[in-house]
């Protein structure tokens, strides 16, 4: 059997898969937090805003008025992280 090296393709793939799983879990948490903030600010937000997971949704949120300043800052930070995943 050949020796297993640290940069073996299988090992690299396992690390990448693990990192992706962590990123997907974080994105899901942030997406859920964004939805909770929107529900608190406007329970009917889904009727007049595109999905917050789309570029159109993020653009629509940039001009969204009912959110208070702190919630807006948290929401945009979350969505920026989501858009990079």
Delimit the domains of the chain by residue range: 44-85
Q: Distance between the two ends of the chain, CA-based, in angstroms?
A: 38
Q: Give the contacts of 15 (CB within 8 A, at least 6 positions apart).
A: none
Secondary structure of residue 54 in the 3-state scheme: coil
Exposure string of 60-82, with b = 16+ CB inside 10 Å and e = fewer, is bbeebeebeeebbeebbebbeeb
pTM for the complete prediction? Answer: 0.57
Please say whether the dihedral angle defined by the alpha carbons of residues 44, 46, 49 and 52, taken in this order, is positive or negative: positive
The 10s digit of each residue's pLDDT in 72-85 is 677 777 777 777 76
The 10s digit of each residue's pLDDT in 16-70 is 999 999 998 988 888 888 888 888 878 888 887 888 778 888 788 777 776 555 5
Report how far apart, in Å, the C-alpha atoms of 45 and of each of 9, 26, 38, 61, 80 are. Answer: 46, 23, 7, 10, 19
């Amino acid at each position: 059997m050949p020796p297993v090296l640290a940069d073996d393709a299988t090992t690299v793939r396992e690390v990448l898969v693990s990192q992706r799983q962590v990123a997907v879990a974080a994105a899901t948490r942030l997406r859920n937090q964004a939805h909770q903030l929107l529900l608190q600010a406007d329970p009917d937000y889904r009727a007049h805003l595109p999905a917050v997971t789309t570029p159109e949704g993020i653009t629509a949120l940039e001009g969204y008025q009912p959110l208070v300043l702190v919630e807006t800052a948290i929401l945009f930070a979350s969505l920026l992280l989501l858009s990079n995943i």
